Amino acid sequence: MSDDHDHKHIDWREHGVKVIPGNALDPNTAQTPGMSRATAINNARAGAEKIWAGTVTINANAKTGAHHHGDLESIIYVVKGKARMRWGENLEFTAEAGPGDFIYVPPFVPHQEINANRDETLECVVVRSGQEPVVVNLDIEPIEKPENVAWIDPIHRH
């Protein structure tokens, strides 16, 4: 088989499956005020070439600033809490998602993530269609104004 021949010189131990422990994520990625992003999967950490994956944590009752992610598609999976998304030229559209729900954000869509719970952290997993940590923070006056929130990630604790 030609497949066997093509792959016989690959070191599968080095270039095979990678497990990135949840406590080893990298917070050194593009950020938006009001949320904390951490990288799990990218080229440097896992050898991925076409996708990026990580976590997003938004403190209770917090709201991010308006932003978009350029030509990247994003998928957000809600692990814990209740997410409210606002999107549009003036963030005029809204939808909510809870644990187990997926949210799709197309390229260039101005949006704002909001933790709809006043007393519970919102925890999500995010997957994007590219490697570049594109975050374009926008100067849109949001309907739900961002709040000053504590910046919490593996480097910055309370």
- pLDDT at residue 147, as a whole number: 57
**Residue 16 domain-assigned (yes or no):** no
Q: Find, among 81, 95, 17, 26, the residue nearest to 55 by Cα.
A: 26
Amino acid identity for residue 97 in this structure: A
- pLDDT at residue 4, as a whole number: 52
Structure tokens belonging to residue 59: 């403190």
CB-based contacts of 129: which residues, under 8 Å, 6+ apart?
A: 50, 51, 72, 73, 74
**Residue 110 domain-assigned (yes or no):** yes
- pLDDT at residue 142, as a whole number: 67
Count the alpha carbons within 13 Å of 15 in the hemisphere toward its beta carbon. 7
Range of the domain at 58: 33-158
**Residue 23 domain-assigned (yes or no):** no
**Residue 15 domain-assigned (yes or no):** no
- pLDDT at residue 146, as a whole number: 61
How far is residue 70's CA from residue 111's CA, in Å, rounded to a whole number? 12
**Residue 149 domain-assigned (yes or no):** yes
pLDDT tens for each residue of the chain, 158 residues long: 445 556 678 888 887 888 787 787 887 777 776 678 888 888 888 889 999 999 988 888 888 888 898 999 999 999 999 999 999 999 999 999 999 999 999 999 999 889 999 999 999 999 999 987 777 888 887 677 665 444 343 434 44
- pLDDT at residue 156, as a whole number: 40
Residue 144 sits in a domain of what CATH number?
2.60.120.10
- pLDDT at residue 3, as a whole number: 53
pTM of the model: 0.78
**Residue 11 domain-assigned (yes or no):** no
**Residue 95 domain-assigned (yes or no):** yes
The number of distinct structural domains making up the chain is: 1
**Residue 19 domain-assigned (yes or no):** no
Cβ burial of 49 (10 Å; 0-12, 13-18, 19+) is exposed
How far is residue 72's CA from residue 29's CA, in Å, rounded to a whole number? 15
What is the number of other CB atoms lying within 10 angstroms of the CB of residue 83? 23
